[in-house]
Amino acid sequence: MNFVRFVKTPRLDVPSKSKSNAKAPVKKPAVKQLSMILTITTDFSSFAGATELACQLISSKNEIVSERQVQWHEHDREVKVELIVPAKFKEGRVVVTPVNPGASSKDGEFLRQFLGEDITHLIGIETEEFALDTLARQDTVYRTFSLRGQPLRIAEQSGETIIRHVWDAGIMLSAALTCRSLSALPDELQDFVSTAMNTSKMMRILEVGCGVGILGVSIAAALPQCQVIMTDLSDAKPLVEQNIQLNLQQFPHLQRNTQFRELDWEINPYPEWTVTENFDLIVMADVTYNTATFIALADTLEHLLRHGSKGSKVICCGKRRHDEEEGFWKLVRKRGFTVEKRVVYAMDLDGNFRHCQDAAKMDGEQLIDFISMHL
């Protein structure tokens, strides 16, 4: 997938007037503009395709007051955008949305439903609402998804860091586990989801390494009868709790069925609740990209499944970033884990999403693994 990002969030530009001693005719006040720098990126590199972006300035009354279409070319690394600010504009936000539709494929239907657009591989972005006279750099930006027909808003950190962002696997696993109908899933994922999720009963679900919380919040919002505990390092807490609060209007049950808890994989002994509380399912997305955490993550999962959550299933989704990631699955097998299912999909630059085998991967495609296992 590819994500629109603000390299620099909007700032106010007022063109300076040229100074002159000569008398000049009276001119109209200089036009105010919002200036920003955008990029489209995967995890670590710019989008190598072409698309068009709709950049809109939307007032606090939810009216579009200024708009500009921006072309992104395959060689671009970033683009500067300027939006004219109407004289009466006081408060609002900037929204950037891809306008070129993605490729259509049956396998990607569940993903299109979650993205809420025809596009399957480019994710738009928006700023916080701001007052023009106090506009400053924004540290938090937002992405909007569609959960069973209702908007799901997720805050993330602005800028080009690789932490505290929404990533591919979190979106894909959220889309698969919260899909309204199993028939909208590809055949291979129907079996994967149906064996992992027993929605006929109240399930207790633990997310390990939740990041900004898109997966845990999505599951809890879609399944009011389930309790979802999201865990990560302590510095993840503010964004996770913000994302719970952001969605209370559409999903008020999030107040009672979601919670954040700190869980550091490298601190032993583990919290007492990991021994005393049982979880029916453990989920995780985008957690195997850092080889330095493999042992600590394997230790944590083994601890959970040998104590409070004995007999539980673990499901994981991850986009492959390097060959060393396979070392994690070798490690957990040595610990006694059984990998029950491994379903592999490929997505190309045009958003085509298809089931594949490793040997069938083509140039330009990104591989996404859906894995279930138990101890």
Query: What are the tens digits of pLDDT across the range 185-222?
Result: 998 899 899 888 876 678 999 999 999 999 999 999 99
Whether 144 contacts 118, CB under 8 Å:
no
End-to-end CA distance of the chain: 32
Burial of 5-42, coded b for 16+ CB within 10 Å and e otherwise, reads bbbbbbeebeeeeeeeeeeeeeeeeeebbbebebbbbb
Mean pLDDT to the nearest integer, 282-299: 96
How confident is the model over 234-264, as pLDDT tens digits?
999 999 999 999 999 999 999 999 999 999 9
| pLDDT attached to residue 211 | 95
**CB count, 10 Å around CB of 361?**
14
Residue tagged 């601890």 (tokens): 303
Q: What is the pTM of this model?
A: 0.92
Interior angle at CA 257, CA 124 and CA 369, nearest 5: 50
To which residue do tokens 């007492």 refer?
Answer: 272
> What tokens does 192 get?
């994967």
Domains of the chain in start order, with CATH, are 2-10+35-157 (2.60.40), 168-374 (3.40.50.150)
β-pairing verdict for 258-262 and 227-232: parallel
What's the longest Cα–Cα distance across the chain? Answer: 86
Read off the pLDDT band of 27 (50, 70, 90).
low
Please compute the mean of the pLDDT values over residues 143-149 and round it to a whole number: 93
Contact yes or no for 366/168 (Cβ under 8 A): yes
Cα–Cα distance measured from residue 166 to residue 154, given in angstroms and rounded to the nearest whole number = 8
For residue 362, count CB atoms less than 10 angstroms from its CB and return exposed for 0-12, middle for 13-18, buried for 19 or more. Answer: exposed
Closest C-alpha among 5, 313, 334 to residue 165: 5
Which of 58-72, 290-304, 352-366 shows the lowest per-residue confidence on average (mean pLDDT)? Answer: 352-366
Omega within 30 of 0 (cis) for the link into 269: yes
pLDDT band at 356 (very low <50, low <70, confident <90, very high): confident
- SS3 at position 173: helix
167: its two tokens: 């990533």
Q: In which band, very low, low, confident or very high, does the pLDDT at 90 lie, cut at 50, 70 and 90?
A: very high
Residue type, 57: L
Give CA separation, 313 vs 229, 247, 286, 306, 330, in Å: 15, 28, 18, 12, 18
Percent of the chain beyond pLDDT 90? 67
